[in-house]
Amino acid sequence: MSEPGGASADWLQLRSAADTRARDHGSAGLLERLVEHLRQRGAEKLRMIDVGAGTGANRAYLEPRLPFDQVWVAVDHDPVLLDHDDHGESDRIEAGVKDLIHVLERCDDHGSVVTVMTCTALLDVLTTRELGCFADAVEAFQTPALLAMSVTGAVTWAPADDADVLLSGAFNAHQQRNGRAGGAAVSVLRTDLSARGLDLMTAQTPWVLDARNPDVFGRWLDERVKAAVQQRPEDAPELGRWARRRAAQLRAGDLVARVGHEDLLILPA
Protein backbone atom coordinates (compact mmCIF):
# COMPACT_ATOMS: atom_id res chain seq x y z
CA MET A 1 0.00 0.00 0.00
CA SER A 2 2.91 2.35 -0.43
CA GLU A 3 4.08 4.53 -3.28
CA PRO A 4 5.67 4.55 -5.77
CA GLY A 5 3.72 1.97 -7.65
CA GLY A 6 0.65 2.16 -5.45
CA ALA A 7 -0.69 -1.14 -4.14
CA SER A 8 -0.11 -3.16 -7.32
CA ALA A 9 0.86 -6.75 -6.62
CA ASP A 10 3.88 -6.67 -8.93
CA TRP A 11 5.39 -3.65 -7.17
CA LEU A 12 4.82 -5.17 -3.71
CA GLN A 13 6.58 -8.34 -4.77
CA LEU A 14 9.38 -6.47 -6.56
CA ARG A 15 10.23 -4.40 -3.50
CA SER A 16 10.17 -7.28 -1.01
CA ALA A 17 13.87 -8.14 -1.33
CA ALA A 18 14.89 -4.51 -0.73
CA ASP A 19 12.60 -4.39 2.31
CA THR A 20 14.10 -7.60 3.69
CA ARG A 21 17.65 -6.27 3.42
CA ALA A 22 16.69 -2.99 5.04
CA ARG A 23 14.83 -4.63 7.94
CA ASP A 24 17.52 -7.22 8.62
CA HIS A 25 20.17 -4.51 8.73
CA GLY A 26 18.27 -1.73 10.48
CA SER A 27 15.49 -3.00 12.73
CA ALA A 28 16.62 -6.33 14.16
CA GLY A 29 16.77 -4.61 17.55
CA LEU A 30 13.07 -3.73 17.39
CA LEU A 31 12.17 -7.33 16.65
CA GLU A 32 14.29 -8.53 19.56
CA ARG A 33 12.59 -6.04 21.89
CA LEU A 34 9.15 -7.19 20.72
CA VAL A 35 10.05 -10.84 21.36
CA GLU A 36 11.36 -9.91 24.83
CA HIS A 37 8.12 -8.06 25.60
CA LEU A 38 5.97 -10.98 24.47
CA ARG A 39 7.96 -13.46 26.53
CA GLN A 40 7.60 -11.24 29.58
CA ARG A 41 3.85 -11.42 29.02
CA GLY A 42 4.01 -15.19 28.89
CA ALA A 43 2.85 -15.33 25.28
CA GLU A 44 2.75 -18.75 23.67
CA LYS A 45 0.59 -17.99 20.65
CA LEU A 46 0.22 -14.76 18.66
CA ARG A 47 -2.59 -13.38 16.57
CA MET A 48 -0.81 -11.20 14.00
CA ILE A 49 -3.05 -8.48 12.51
CA ASP A 50 -1.33 -7.45 9.26
CA VAL A 51 -2.79 -4.08 8.29
CA GLY A 52 -2.52 -3.21 4.61
CA ALA A 53 -1.39 -6.78 4.10
CA GLY A 54 -0.91 -6.46 0.34
CA THR A 55 0.44 -9.72 -1.07
CA GLY A 56 1.64 -11.11 2.26
CA ALA A 57 5.29 -10.03 2.20
CA ASN A 58 5.18 -8.86 5.82
CA ARG A 59 3.99 -12.27 6.97
CA ALA A 60 6.70 -13.97 4.90
CA TYR A 61 9.28 -11.81 6.68
CA LEU A 62 8.02 -11.98 10.26
CA GLU A 63 6.61 -15.49 10.58
CA PRO A 64 9.97 -17.33 10.65
CA ARG A 65 11.53 -14.64 12.86
CA LEU A 66 8.96 -14.78 15.68
CA PRO A 67 9.55 -17.80 17.98
CA PHE A 68 5.87 -18.33 18.80
CA ASP A 69 2.92 -20.20 17.35
CA GLN A 70 1.07 -17.75 15.13
CA VAL A 71 -2.25 -17.19 13.43
CA TRP A 72 -2.35 -14.42 10.84
CA VAL A 73 -5.14 -12.04 9.88
CA ALA A 74 -4.66 -10.18 6.58
CA VAL A 75 -6.46 -6.82 6.54
CA ASP A 76 -6.61 -4.79 3.33
CA HIS A 77 -9.12 -2.55 1.58
CA ASP A 78 -8.26 -4.16 -1.78
CA PRO A 79 -10.04 -7.50 -2.39
CA VAL A 80 -7.70 -8.35 -5.27
CA LEU A 81 -4.67 -8.20 -2.97
CA LEU A 82 -6.49 -10.14 -0.25
CA ASP A 83 -7.06 -12.92 -2.78
CA HIS A 84 -3.32 -13.37 -3.36
CA ASP A 85 -2.09 -16.94 -2.91
CA ASP A 86 0.75 -15.91 -0.59
CA HIS A 87 -1.73 -15.16 2.21
CA GLY A 88 -2.04 -18.91 2.55
CA GLU A 89 -4.14 -19.90 5.56
CA SER A 90 -4.46 -16.34 6.89
CA ASP A 91 -7.90 -15.09 7.78
CA ARG A 92 -8.72 -12.31 5.32
CA ILE A 93 -10.70 -9.19 6.22
CA GLU A 94 -11.57 -6.49 3.71
CA ALA A 95 -11.24 -3.30 5.76
CA GLY A 96 -9.34 -0.02 6.01
CA VAL A 97 -7.46 1.68 8.82
CA LYS A 98 -10.60 3.51 9.93
CA ASP A 99 -12.11 0.08 10.68
CA LEU A 100 -9.26 -1.17 12.89
CA ILE A 101 -11.13 -1.02 16.19
CA HIS A 102 -13.91 -3.14 14.69
CA VAL A 103 -11.33 -5.56 13.27
CA LEU A 104 -9.69 -5.94 16.67
CA GLU A 105 -13.05 -6.42 18.35
CA ARG A 106 -13.89 -9.11 15.83
CA CYS A 107 -10.60 -10.92 16.42
CA ASP A 108 -10.48 -10.58 20.23
CA ASP A 109 -11.45 -13.87 21.88
CA HIS A 110 -10.29 -12.73 25.35
CA GLY A 111 -8.22 -15.89 25.54
CA SER A 112 -4.55 -16.68 25.89
CA VAL A 113 -3.62 -15.58 22.37
CA VAL A 114 -1.70 -12.27 22.34
CA THR A 115 -2.67 -9.89 19.54
CA VAL A 116 0.08 -7.97 17.72
CA MET A 117 -0.55 -5.41 14.99
CA THR A 118 1.90 -4.99 12.16
CA CYS A 119 2.22 -3.32 8.78
CA THR A 120 4.81 -2.52 6.17
CA ALA A 121 5.01 0.39 3.71
CA LEU A 122 1.69 1.75 4.92
CA LEU A 123 1.94 4.72 7.29
CA ASP A 124 3.25 7.25 4.75
CA VAL A 125 0.20 6.82 2.49
CA LEU A 126 -2.29 7.37 5.32
CA THR A 127 -3.92 10.69 6.11
CA THR A 128 -3.29 12.28 9.48
CA ARG A 129 -6.87 11.35 10.38
CA GLU A 130 -6.19 7.69 9.54
CA LEU A 131 -3.03 7.81 11.65
CA GLY A 132 -5.24 8.97 14.49
CA CYS A 133 -7.49 5.94 13.91
CA PHE A 134 -4.40 3.73 14.09
CA ALA A 135 -3.39 5.34 17.38
CA ASP A 136 -6.94 4.95 18.75
CA ALA A 137 -6.88 1.21 18.03
CA VAL A 138 -3.46 0.69 19.61
CA GLU A 139 -4.48 2.59 22.73
CA ALA A 140 -7.91 1.00 23.07
CA PHE A 141 -6.58 -2.56 22.94
CA GLN A 142 -3.08 -1.92 24.39
CA THR A 143 -1.76 -3.85 21.41
CA PRO A 144 1.95 -4.19 20.65
CA ALA A 145 2.60 -3.00 17.11
CA LEU A 146 5.56 -3.32 14.75
CA LEU A 147 5.20 -0.86 11.86
CA ALA A 148 7.85 -1.22 9.18
CA MET A 149 9.27 0.56 6.15
CA SER A 150 7.59 3.98 6.30
CA VAL A 151 9.11 6.46 3.84
CA THR A 152 10.81 9.44 5.49
CA GLY A 153 11.17 11.60 2.36
CA ALA A 154 14.98 11.66 2.58
CA VAL A 155 16.97 10.46 -0.44
CA THR A 156 20.74 10.73 -0.86
CA TRP A 157 22.14 10.37 -4.38
CA ALA A 158 25.61 9.48 -5.59
CA PRO A 159 26.49 11.24 -7.75
CA ALA A 160 24.45 14.33 -6.91
CA ASP A 161 22.54 16.19 -9.63
CA ASP A 162 21.44 19.83 -9.76
CA ALA A 163 17.80 18.78 -10.21
CA ASP A 164 17.68 16.39 -7.22
CA VAL A 165 16.06 19.04 -5.04
CA LEU A 166 13.39 19.75 -7.66
CA LEU A 167 12.53 16.06 -8.00
CA SER A 168 12.45 15.41 -4.25
CA GLY A 169 10.35 18.48 -3.54
CA ALA A 170 7.77 17.53 -6.15
CA PHE A 171 7.63 13.89 -5.08
CA ASN A 172 7.35 14.67 -1.38
CA ALA A 173 4.56 17.16 -2.10
CA HIS A 174 2.78 14.44 -4.09
CA GLN A 175 3.03 12.09 -1.11
CA GLN A 176 1.36 14.70 1.08
CA ARG A 177 -1.54 15.42 -1.28
CA ASN A 178 -5.10 15.26 0.02
CA GLY A 179 -4.08 15.23 3.66
CA ARG A 180 -1.64 12.31 3.50
CA ALA A 181 1.14 12.36 6.07
CA GLY A 182 3.90 11.33 3.65
CA GLY A 183 7.39 11.42 5.11
CA ALA A 184 6.11 12.89 8.39
CA ALA A 185 3.96 9.84 9.18
CA VAL A 186 6.19 8.19 11.78
CA SER A 187 6.80 11.51 13.51
CA VAL A 188 3.07 12.30 13.59
CA LEU A 189 2.15 8.88 14.97
CA ARG A 190 5.02 8.87 17.45
CA THR A 191 3.98 12.25 18.86
CA ASP A 192 0.36 11.10 19.20
CA LEU A 193 1.19 7.81 20.89
CA SER A 194 3.78 9.35 23.22
CA ALA A 195 1.08 11.69 24.50
CA ARG A 196 -1.04 8.61 25.25
CA GLY A 197 1.73 7.12 27.40
CA LEU A 198 2.85 4.25 25.18
CA ASP A 199 6.44 3.01 24.94
CA LEU A 200 8.02 3.69 21.53
CA MET A 201 11.21 2.72 19.74
CA THR A 202 12.29 3.63 16.20
CA ALA A 203 14.94 2.35 13.80
CA GLN A 204 16.22 3.61 10.47
CA THR A 205 15.72 1.08 7.65
CA PRO A 206 16.94 2.75 4.46
CA TRP A 207 17.02 1.08 1.10
CA VAL A 208 20.39 1.18 -0.63
CA LEU A 209 19.70 0.90 -4.36
CA ASP A 210 22.40 0.41 -6.98
CA ALA A 211 23.23 -1.59 -10.09
CA ARG A 212 22.93 -4.85 -8.13
CA ASN A 213 19.13 -4.41 -8.00
CA PRO A 214 18.31 -2.79 -11.36
CA ASP A 215 14.69 -3.95 -11.54
CA VAL A 216 13.47 -2.37 -8.33
CA PHE A 217 15.76 0.65 -8.81
CA GLY A 218 14.50 1.29 -12.34
CA ARG A 219 10.86 0.87 -11.36
CA TRP A 220 11.32 3.13 -8.34
CA LEU A 221 12.93 5.81 -10.52
CA ASP A 222 10.14 5.66 -13.11
CA GLU A 223 7.34 5.85 -10.55
CA ARG A 224 9.09 8.64 -8.66
CA VAL A 225 9.31 10.77 -11.79
CA LYS A 226 5.68 10.07 -12.75
CA ALA A 227 4.53 11.24 -9.32
CA ALA A 228 6.70 14.36 -9.49
CA VAL A 229 5.39 15.28 -12.94
CA GLN A 230 1.83 14.73 -11.80
CA GLN A 231 2.46 17.10 -8.91
CA ARG A 232 4.31 19.76 -10.95
CA PRO A 233 3.46 19.37 -14.65
CA GLU A 234 5.06 22.74 -15.36
CA ASP A 235 8.44 21.18 -14.49
CA ALA A 236 7.94 18.11 -16.69
CA PRO A 237 10.70 18.98 -19.22
CA GLU A 238 13.38 19.40 -16.55
CA LEU A 239 12.18 16.35 -14.64
CA GLY A 240 12.31 14.32 -17.85
CA ARG A 241 15.89 15.37 -18.49
CA TRP A 242 16.78 14.40 -14.91
CA ALA A 243 15.14 10.99 -15.44
CA ARG A 244 17.12 10.35 -18.60
CA ARG A 245 20.41 11.25 -16.92
CA ARG A 246 19.66 8.97 -13.98
CA ALA A 247 18.55 6.08 -16.21
CA ALA A 248 21.83 6.31 -18.15
CA GLN A 249 23.81 6.29 -14.91
CA LEU A 250 21.88 3.25 -13.70
CA ARG A 251 22.59 1.36 -16.95
CA ALA A 252 26.28 2.24 -16.60
CA GLY A 253 26.37 1.01 -13.00
CA ASP A 254 27.26 4.48 -11.73
CA LEU A 255 24.19 5.35 -9.62
CA VAL A 256 23.44 4.79 -5.93
CA ALA A 257 20.42 6.01 -3.98
CA ARG A 258 19.93 5.75 -0.23
CA VAL A 259 16.16 5.96 0.36
CA GLY A 260 15.07 6.79 3.88
CA HIS A 261 12.62 4.50 5.68
CA GLU A 262 11.81 4.21 9.37
CA ASP A 263 10.37 1.42 11.52
CA LEU A 264 8.36 1.96 14.70
CA LEU A 265 7.74 -0.42 17.62
CA ILE A 266 4.87 0.42 19.96
CA LEU A 267 4.48 -1.35 23.31
CA PRO A 268 1.75 -0.98 25.92
CA ALA A 269 2.62 1.24 28.87
Residue of 83, 88, 54, 84 lying closest to 72 (CA atoms): 88
* Tens digit of each residue's pLDDT, the chain (269 residues): 333 334 688 888 889 999 999 999 999 999 999 999 999 999 999 999 999 999 999 999 999 999 999 999 999 999 999 999 989 888 999 999 999 999 999 887 766 799 999 999 999 999 999 999 999 999 999 999 999 999 999 999 999 999 999 999 999 999 999 999 999 999 999 999 999 999 999 999 999 999 999 999 999 999 999 999 999 999 999 999 999 999 999 999 999 999 999 999 999 97
At the second CATH level, the architecture of 9-267 is 3-Layer(aba) Sandwich (3.40)
- What lies within 8 Å, CB to CB, of 202 at 6+ separation is 186, 190, 262, 263, 264, 265
Distance in angstroms (rounded) separating the CA atoms of residues 128 and 146: 19
Question: Helix (H, G, I), strand (E, B), or coil: what is residue 147?
Answer: strand
Q: How far apart are CA 34 and CA 32, in angstroms?
A: 5
**Which SS3 state, helix, strand or coil, does residue 96 take?**
coil
pTM of the shown model: 0.93
Among candidates 75, 261, 71, 17, which has minimal Cα distance to 156? 261
Type of residue numbered 13: Q
The full set of domain ranges for the chain reads 9-267
Give 32-40 contacts, CB < 8 A, sequence gap 24+.
33/201, 33/265, 33/267, 34/66, 34/116, 34/144, 34/146, 34/265, 34/267, 35/66, 35/67, 37/144, 37/267, 38/68, 38/114, 38/116, 38/144
Using CB atoms within 10 A of its CB, is residue 239 exposed (0-12), middle (13-18) or buried (19+)? buried
Q: What is the model's pLDDT at position 88?
A: 87
